[in-house]
Amino acid sequence: MIVEPLVLHHARKTTLLGLREAFSALPPPPPALSFPEYIALPDDDRDAYDQARDDFLRLTLRVPTPEQDICARILAKLIGSNPRRKNSRRGLMISAPMFYGKTELALLLSRSIEHAHAARNPDYADHGHVPVVWTEMTDHSTGKALLAQIVEFLAPTISLPQQITTDRLRKLAVDLLHTHRTKLLVIDEAHKLGGAEPSSIIKALQNESSATVVLVGIDLGGGKAFGSGDGLQVTMRCDTVALRKVDITTGEGSALWRRWVAIFDRNLPLCGHTPGTLTRNATALHKAASGQLAVLAMIVERLVAAILDDPARRDELVTRERLFTVLDGLRHTTPVRHKIALDDLVEAA
């Protein structure tokens, strides 16, 4: 058995090469093996197989969400209409508290936009097209810093004068967005911006560039950055999609949560895995994850990692004891303070 290792060269999405690597880093599920077949592998092959399983779980295995569908529909309309507008171009805000999967959602949407452009323009990279530009704000980032990131993303070898003015930098950024036919400008951690200057820069980018701006951050509509003053000008130009906890007391919420758990359960890359235990414990998992998809995904990742990291294991079955060990560790190592006990969990039927 040969498993090709996934090799990653770029740590950051804020470069063109790094972002495109993030788009393409979707390893397929490794071939299914029984546990005896796994044990019979040479050590190097076992290590490669384990790495492939981990890569598939962390990079490829995802569940569809209503917010993903909503955002995709909004972006499709905006990307089609914004180039035809002369002013008041609209954008999208993706807003949620910490650890709700905002950046992951933005990455999924960006990948979709890039792939759609590639399908219509197979030689797009050779022609210098950059459908998606990704920027990430840090504490006290300014509008000028945002413009500099755009320029450095699209022209990494350019040498900017130390005393370049904001107006000159804005014109350069807008010209580059136009030259490279950029459709989507993602501003991650946008809540770290604030005040009149960043807001006026974003508004200028919407006025002067046909690229659709996507702002991703915490409490964007109600925070300091865009919840008042000059920031409201940007907010009013954007459709806002808020990520929320899943409420399983409603029929729709219960069905959605159980569907997510079942997808993870069916696709766990474990030897001899038979779905059942995760699905039967969907309610307990909702309580442990406080209804957050990102926490559910972390539980699943930790469960698989705990099994694979046990050198004395005799199988890779998901049992309630193994699941409880992960859940118990979660409340001791993260801010998640659930009260799930072993007796709250059941085995697969």
**Domains of the chain, each with CATH number or no CATH:** 66-242 (3.40.50.300), 245-349 (1.10.8)
Q: Measuring CA to CA, which residue among 166, 174, 171, 176 is closest to residue 198?
A: 166
Q: What is the mean pLDDT of residues 226-234?
A: 85
Dist CA 5 CA 118 (whole Å): 25
- Whether 101 shows a pLDDT value over 90: the answer reads yes
- Whether 224 shows a pLDDT value over 90: the answer reads no
Residue 33 DSSP SS3: coil
pLDDT grade for 349, boundaries at 50, 70 and 90: confident
Q: What is the H or E stretch that residue 215 is in?
A: strand 212-217
DSSP code, position 82: G
> What's residue 126's pLDDT?
96
Dist CA 189 CA 310 (whole Å): 37
> What's residue 6's pLDDT?
87
Mean of the per-residue pLDDT values for the chain? 94
- Whether 194 shows a pLDDT value over 80: the answer reads no
- Whether 29 shows a pLDDT value over 70: the answer reads yes
- Whether 1 shows a pLDDT value over 70: the answer reads no
Q: Measuring CA to CA, which residue among 135, 136, 117, 113 is closest to residue 127?
A: 117
Task: Render pLDDT for 57-87 as a digit per residue (tens, 0 to 9).
Answer: 999 999 999 999 999 999 999 999 999 998 7
Q: Is 306 exposed, middle or buried (0-12, 13-18, 19+ CB in 10 A)?
A: middle
Q: Measuring CA to CA, which residue among 150, 143, 167, 135 is closest to residue 225?
A: 143
Task: Render pLDDT for 139-191 as a digit per residue (tens, 0 to 9).
Answer: 989 999 999 999 999 999 999 888 899 999 999 999 999 999 999 999 999 99
Q: What is the H or E stretch that residue 240 is in?
A: strand 238-242
In 165-207 the beta strands, taken as DSSP E runs, fall at 184-188
- Whether 299 shows a pLDDT value over 80: the answer reads yes
What percent helix, strand, coil does the chain show, rounded to 5? 50, 5, 40
- Whether 54 shows a pLDDT value over 90: the answer reads yes
CB 9, CB 21: distance < 8 Å: yes
Residue 284 DSSP SS3: helix
Dist CA 130 CA 121 (whole Å): 11
